[in-house]
Amino acid sequence: MVLPFLSLCLVSFVIAEPNPDRIEYQYIELNAPATDIKFCGAQDDVMLLLTTENSVYRSENKGFSWKPLSPILEKEGKKAGSTIGKVTQILVNPADKQVVVMLGSAGLNWFSEDCGKTIKALNYGRPMEEYHFHPTERDWGLAASWTKCSDFVDEPCKKYRALYLTQDLGQTWTKLIDYVVQFSWAYENLAKYIKRNIPKERIYVTRSLQEGDQKLAGWSYNVDMVKSDDFFQSSSILVPHGNKFLLADRYILVAQSIEQDSQDVQLMVSNDKNIEKFYKADLPIKRIPEHSYTLLDTSEGSVFVQVNHYGPGSRYGNIYESDVTGRRFSISLLHNVRDPKGYCDFDKVYGLEGIYIANVYDREKTNEEFDASDTKKKKGKDAEITYKKTAITFDKGGVWKTITPPEKDSNGKRILCKDEDCSLHLHSITSQKFGTAYSSENAVGIIIGVGNVGKYLSNKPDEVNTYLSRDGGLTWSEIKKGSYIYEIGDHGAIIVMADDQKATDRVYFSWNEGLTWESIKFTDTPIEVDNIIIEPKATSQNFVLYGQVGGKGVSVAIDFSSLHEPKCKGADKPGEGSDYELWSPNDGRTGNECLLGRKMEYVRRKRESECYNGEEFERGSFKYNCECTKLDYECDLGYFSENDGPCKKVEGVVEEENCQDEDIYYEVSRGYRRVAGDTCVGGVSVDLEPYRFECAADSIGTSGIIIIIVLVVAIIGLLYVRFSEFFIRKWNEFKGLEVFDKVGYFSDLSKAPEGMDEELSERENNQTAHALDSNNEEEEFNPRS
């Protein structure tokens, strides 16, 4: 079947003259709304756009014009002598950003070595369900495809997923292995220093040990995690019964099936000490339901993971943080909001260390609203919406607290809150109506979010406004009434926003971080705005807004460099007489500016300096280690803290000497462990750091210090997890989420619920491992994918 490419090639160009403010922009109509925009080229200077009608467009001038590629795709497809099908995905090669592949729905794929300027169609003969470029070898790729009955001439038809290799950008393919479940180059998502000790040919897969049709439903005892260094001329098993894995910086996490009939699983972890030696993770949970883990972040030397304890479709789970080994976890935050697909309301503040924002449920209220026998059913209307609260941590999850609300609104009027425990709440990824809390690596300290001031997070558009923090989340100001979609450019110097709740004809921009706003009217016919984007580094002054009107797609390119704002001066001498200042993040708890054991000073533009930084601007930063205080430590495995008091041992905990084979010493805890990544020196460290002893020559062990926990537990309401009475009581003492102290209740992983044999969803058929398409900090272990 030939796709109606010709009908997709018509693009209506509406050229707008520069407006009175000298800001250049251009409004363009596309055949359909955009679903994805990729930046390619060495400088991210070319854009490729994919629409809902599977048409592709290309821009070489930052979105000011779009060339339809459909005629070229059709022409090249006919040369390859195959059914053309549809373009389903655009992928950019990390080893060479000039190289692009466009996956097709019918076995025909398109490759380009110049960001789509010239294109070659290659007839693979079967749809590529998944494709992975090699991170360093530009011509290498892995692809998975399902077999067809025509593949079996002299034997019965069998449908299974096979893995193929190309080393010449798709011109030729070699089958590597059958019955593959998941696959990845070992170089993907691991730290550079680990890759130096790994051959570039290494491939990780999980594969089924079966015959006939391949089944991917449920945790399976017949799936192993395997590696190969020679394209499967030989291979070895890394984790027997390892069903799914995640490569994350200095860690590999694997979900391992340990009892197929009862669907028991456990989490296995390796770290950079020996990246392929796996240990059972010590998680503070007793039962792992169907959606087991969502990996939230590993960027700061520890693992944040959310565990869904409460059954399929649950709307909340608990967040746990590991120590530096990635193996020993303690509780960080209870009842974190999630959706049934595993996406979690958990946002890292980029550009700063240790700061995260998350949403939780007020369990005192939601306990009354949810049916005790089924967490998917609720008695009250919108129960999962009504009782959400927002919390922030400045010390990597050690202490969570509510966000102090601004005193005045964007009109200068005092904000009067009727509730005693009034705070600022922000929407996140699970919200279907509003944008998430947003920050950028190159706009240090700035966070923008949509939410409200009150007791709980509101889902009503007339109660929601847009807020900004310029000090990493410590203080906030309301910058605009209503909900907006936003983007940050020029290292934080310019912010661009548009209404995302109703059709609009203009965008707003600010050169002073929201103190004042100006607007550009870009059309006479209001459009529904889907998003505003900028090149990946967020350092330019060029933005692209895209949306839709009357079923058609719309693209609006905006260039603020034509304003000719003055360039900022004095970055090398911040302070008086300079456009720049020195700023140090802090959490407001102490008089000093130490976070994670160090004082960080950043050079940033003053808020009132309405000038531009320039793409070449390099932000200065300075680091000074601080003296250790109790704030640099958290309760160790098997310990807890009440009301920010000392860490106490959980009753029944026994510590035993136990050394790993390669260790020359073992440690005995004093109840505390240093927060992962903390660099403090001296101070209370002599009193809180663990005792250290040499390992006996004949000592044998596999898990470091073994912590055996014997606790009397009771089933609490609807919970699948059996928490101690103290644990539940401690939660009730929080009284509105003012402070969440980390506690150390631990026990073993055990049983998962049944019911994992339903049909694969479209997402699962695509074998997608990522929970978020825009950033890879969130990934979910899903037994069916």
Out of 77, 103, 118, a domain closes at 118
Within-domain flag for 535 = no
- pLDDT bucket at 7, cuts 50 / 70 / 90: very low
pLDDT for residue 385: 53
Q: Are residues 222 and 325 in the same domain?
A: yes
Instruction: State yes or no: pLDDT of 434 exceeds 50.
Output: yes
Within-domain flag for 746 = no
Mean pLDDT of 683-710: 61
Residue type, 14: V
Q: What is the C-alpha separation between 3 and 13, in angstroms, rounded?
A: 24
Within-domain flag for 645 = yes
Question: In this predicted model, which residue has the larger pLDDT, 470 or 2?
Answer: 470
Q: Are residues 675 and 712 in the same domain?
A: yes
Residue 199, judged by CB atoms within 10 A of its CB (0-12, 13-18, 19+), counts as exposed
pLDDT for residue 264: 74
Tens of pLDDT, residues 187-204: 999 999 999 899 999 999
Out of 86, 118, 150, a domain closes at 118
Measured in whole angstroms, how far is the alpha carbon of residue 733 from the centre of its chain?
A: 31
Instruction: State yes or no: pLDDT of 441 exceeds 50.
Output: yes
Mean pLDDT of 662-682: 85
Within-domain flag for 547 = no
Mean pLDDT of 367-376: 45
Instruction: State yes or no: pLDDT of 714 exceeds 90.
Output: no
Which residue range(s) make up the domain with 22? 1-118
pLDDT for residue 703: 34
Out of 118, 147, 168, a domain closes at 118
Of 590, 605, 617, 754, give the one whose Cα is nearest residue 218: 754
Q: Supply the pTM of this predicted model.
A: 0.83
Which of the 8 DSSP states describes residue 492?
A: G
Q: Are residues 71 and 29 in the same domain?
A: yes
Q: What is the C-alpha separation between 45 and 97, in angstroms, rounded?
A: 10
Within-domain flag for 572 = no
- pLDDT bucket at 473, cuts 50 / 70 / 90: very high
Question: In this predicted model, which residue has the larger pLDDT, 783 or 82?
Answer: 82
Judged by average pLDDT, the poorest of 57-66, 395-404, 572-581, 586-595 is 586-595
Q: Are residues 284 and 393 in the same domain?
A: yes
Q: What is the mean pLDDT of the chain?
A: 82
Question: In this predicted model, which residue has the larger pLDDT, 577 or 419?
Answer: 577
Q: Are residues 274 and 165 in the same domain?
A: yes
Residue type, 159: K
Question: In this predicted model, which residue has the larger pLDDT, 210 or 742?
Answer: 210
Q: Are residues 346 and 394 in the same domain?
A: yes
Q: Which residues of 456-485 are buried (b: 16+ CB within 10 A; e: fewer)?
A: bbbbeeeebbbbbbbbbbbbbbbbbebbbb
Of 167, 147, 207, give the one whose Cα is nearest residue 183: 207
Q: Which residues of 705-720 are buried (b: 16+ CB within 10 A; e: fewer)?
A: bebebebeeeeeebbb
Within-domain flag for 163 = yes
Q: Are residues 292 and 398 in the same domain?
A: yes
Q: Are residues 234 and 363 in the same domain?
A: yes
pLDDT for residue 398: 86
Tens of pLDDT, residues 212-268: 899 877 788 899 999 999 999 999 999 999 999 999 999 999 989 887 776 777 889
* Domains held by the chain: number: 4
Tens of pLDDT, residues 510-562: 999 999 999 999 999 999 999 999 999 999 999 999 999 999 999 999 999 98
Q: Are residues 288 and 399 in the same domain?
A: yes
Q: Are residues 277 and 417 in the same domain?
A: yes
Instruction: State yes or no: pLDDT of 154 exceeds 80.
Output: yes
Q: Are residues 172 and 48 in the same domain?
A: no
Q: Which backbone phi and psi does 423 adopt, to 5 degrees?
A: -155, 175
Residue 115, judged by CB atoms within 10 A of its CB (0-12, 13-18, 19+), counts as buried
pLDDT for residue 225: 98
Q: Are residues 661 and 700 in the same domain?
A: yes
Within-domain flag for 540 = no
Instruction: Please compute, for residue 518, the number of CA atoms within 13 A of its CA located in the half-sphere on the CB side.
Output: 13
- pLDDT bucket at 749, cuts 50 / 70 / 90: very low
Place of tokens 């792992």: 288
Residue 665, judged by CB atoms within 10 A of its CB (0-12, 13-18, 19+), counts as exposed
